[in-house]
Structure 1
Amino acid sequence: MKLAFNLLVLGADIDAGHAPQLERLKALGYDAVEVPVFGGTVERYRALGRVLADIGLVAGAAAVATPQANPVSEDAAVRARARDHHRWIVDCTHAMGGEIIAGPLHSPVGVFTGFGPTAQEKQRCVEAMRALADYAQQAGVMVSAEAVNRFECYLMSTIHAASEIWRKVNHPNYGYMFDTFHANIEEKDPPATYERHHREINHFHVSENDRGIPGTGHVPFAAHFDALRRCGYDGWLTIESFSRALPELAGATRVWRDLFDDIDVLFAESAAFVRREWQAAGERVLGAGREVPA
């Protein structure tokens, strides 16, 4: 298991100037970070990758589709821009030394048609995700598409919808993410949903129901960690908490208030919580006679 933190809480432009925060994350026991890849040059991410390597943090990318580069648009020119945007994300991630690209790559957050996804939109999504996975495979990078709740996205808002796309993409470099915040809204029994689909899921976000510090709300994390341990999950556990640092994202995700008092408290309490719950879940599953991976 790699303990990771999504750096969107610090803003969209992460660079060498964030070294003090990155060093603090490493000192607290984090293994990896998800770096927002929203803009900038490939060389900028290559430079950031050198900083991360020096600190000892593994890199991944947090990335999104945009309205101007929407993979499921009716407009072929917009879909072509989406293909180019996906390739740029892969190039930046590879330059950074990143292992995985995670996020709502399938369609833009906060963009709606007023209807559910059409068969044509789903097929365009399948084609776009397969092309992205093909390109990412050449760079040695995995793809994890994020199911985002119905208030932020209409194309892939449930694990069932993500699984449907996954089966049709059918690519070894493509999987999808389980995010506890979104699952808390959309799934009848989130831990059971994870267990049912765990072979398809290649990334996991630890996010509280208010997107504040994990363990301070009502997401059933003990049950989630038990499910992860029973299924032998050994990937990234990425803490995702949002702030108002990035106005565009705050607007799309409806973050209108501060969700924690201090960034260092967020870093420290989140790490302690996840490690404590991971260990406790291992002990519970072992006590039930199940073998638990380290």
Structure 2
Amino acid sequence: MQVGINLLCLAGYITEAHLPQIRQLKALGYDGVEVPILSGDPAHYEWLAGELDAIGLRRTSTSVIPSPDANPLSADIAIRARGVAHLDWIMDCALALGSESIGGPFHAPIGHFTGSGPSPDEIRYGAEAHHAMAETAKANGITLSLEHLNRFETHFLNTMEQARAYVAAVDHSAFSIMYDTFHANIEEQKQPRAIELIAGHMGVLHISENDRGIPGRGHIDFPEIFKATRATGYDGWVTLEAFGGGLPEIAAATRVWRPLFPDYDTLFSESLAFIRGQWEAAA
């Protein structure tokens, strides 16, 4: 098991200004970071890769579909082409970063709804795009870890029953699911059962409390989640995802406008101790 942290707690675009806090993560004992790839170009992520190598941190990444005008699920062939081009851009940046896994909801625009669940055509278009993306991922020794979101953020992928079916539709060994405890807390009746449904197909485990703050301070039953995860044989990335106020670039997507942790020192140290302690206790 490797412990990571989603750097969206710091910013949506990581620059030199964030390196002191990233060095702090290494000093505390994090194995890696999950880098948001939301803007920029491969040259920037190649620079960041060098900095992270020097610090000694491995990395995964997270990305989204930015708007309905670049939706890989669209019935409009031109829009769908822009969506596929965006997936190619995500891949180029992730490869430059040296990302081990590409995660996040890179399936449909967040907050964009059709008035119903995913249509057969949307599933078909998505599966085609993600299968092609997985081919590139496999050729470069990395995996895709597609993230489900709750029903208030997307109509496309909400439950692990849907996720299992979508894994079968994509049908590629380099394609998996990023399981997020925050979204599952809304959508799943029992998280252990949801985790069992995608046994063997979990690419990243996102540890996110019910309020998006420090894990262990809310009501999510993490002991049962860690026990269920370990029972599947999973031994990959266990990544903290927490959000704070004051980051305009992500507030609109996460609906977080208030501080959810007292300071970064507390977030970093308490969360790491909690994750490692829960993982060991679940053995």
Q: Please give the range of the TM-score, normalised by the shorter of the 2 chains.
A: over 0.9
In structure 1, distance between residues paired with 2:85 and 2:195: 32
Unaligned runs of 5+ residues in structure 1 are 283-294
Tell me which residue corresponds to 1:208: 209
Tell me which residue corresponds to 2:141: 140
In structure 2, relative to structure 1, the CA distance for the partners of 1:245 and 1:87 (3 Å cut) is farther
Deviation at 1:29, TM superposition (A): 0.8
- Give the letter for the 2:56 counterpart: G
Identity %: 47
Contact 1:90 1:139 in 2 (8 A): no
In structure 2, distance between residues paired with 1:229 and 1:117: 31
**SS of residue paired to 2:211:** coil
**SS of residue paired to 1:156:** coil
**SS of residue paired to 1:84:** helix
Tell me which residue corresponds to 1:41: 41
Tell me which residue corresponds to 2:252: 251
- Give the letter for the 2:252 counterpart: G
Structure 1: 4+ residue segments shifted above 3 A: none
Deviation at 1:245, TM superposition (A): 4.0
- Give the letter for the 1:50 counterpart: G
Farther off after superposition, 239-248 or 141-150 = 239-248
In structure 1, distance between residues paired with 2:158 and 2:249: 20
Tell me which residue corresponds to 2:19: 19
Contact 1:11 1:245 in 2 (8 A): no
Deviation at 1:244, TM superposition (A): 3.0
Contact 2:202 2:234 in 1 (8 A): no
Contact 1:103 1:145 in 2 (8 A): yes
Deviation at 1:248, TM superposition (A): 4.1
In structure 1, distance between residues paired with 2:186 and 2:280: 26
RMSD over equivalenced CA pairs, Å: 1.2
Deviation at 1:192, TM superposition (A): 1.9
Tell me which residue corresponds to 1:265: 266
1:141-156 alignment, distance < 5 Å: 141-156=142-157
- Give the letter for the 2:24 counterpart: R
In structure 2, distance between residues paired with 1:33 and 1:271: 12
In structure 2, distance between residues paired with 1:81 and 1:137: 23
**Is 1:97 the equivalent of 2:92?**
no
**SS of residue paired to 2:238:** strand
In structure 2, distance between residues paired with 1:264 and 1:105: 31
Contact 1:108 1:153 in 2 (8 A): yes
Unaligned runs of 5+ residues in structure 2 are none
Deviation at 1:143, TM superposition (A): 0.4
**SS of residue paired to 2:229:** helix
Deviation at 1:251, TM superposition (A): 1.5
Contact 1:178 1:205 in 2 (8 A): yes
1:224-264 CA-to-partner distances (Å, cap 9, x unmatched) read 11112222211000000012343242122221321111112
Farther off after superposition, 248-257 or 180-189 = 248-257
Deviation at 1:162, TM superposition (A): 1.2
Deviation at 1:57, TM superposition (A): 0.4
* Paired positions, count: 282
In structure 1, distance between residues paired with 2:145 and 2:275: 21
1:58-207 alignment, distance < 5 Å: 58-67=58-67, 68-207=69-208
In structure 2, distance between residues paired with 1:233 and 1:190: 15
In structure 2, distance between residues paired with 1:131 and 1:154: 23
In structure 1, distance between residues paired with 2:87 and 2:197: 29
Deviation at 1:135, TM superposition (A): 2.1
- Give the letter for the 2:158 counterpart: S
In structure 2, distance between residues paired with 1:248 and 1:12: 6
- Give the letter for the 2:14 counterpart: I
**SS of residue paired to 1:203:** strand
Deviation at 1:123, TM superposition (A): 1.0
**SS of residue paired to 2:239:** strand
Contact 2:70 2:80 in 1 (8 A): yes
- Give the letter for the 1:261 counterpart: P
1:191-215 CA-to-partner distances (Å, cap 9, x unmatched) read 1210232112221100000000000
Deviation at 1:180, TM superposition (A): 0.5
**SS of residue paired to 2:35:** strand
In structure 1, distance between residues paired with 2:118 and 2:197: 24
**SS of residue paired to 1:217:** coil
**Is 1:234 the equivalent of 2:227?**
no
TM-score (norm 1): 0.93
- Give the letter for the 2:4 counterpart: A
Tell me which residue corresponds to 1:6: 6
Contact 1:2 1:236 in 2 (8 A): yes
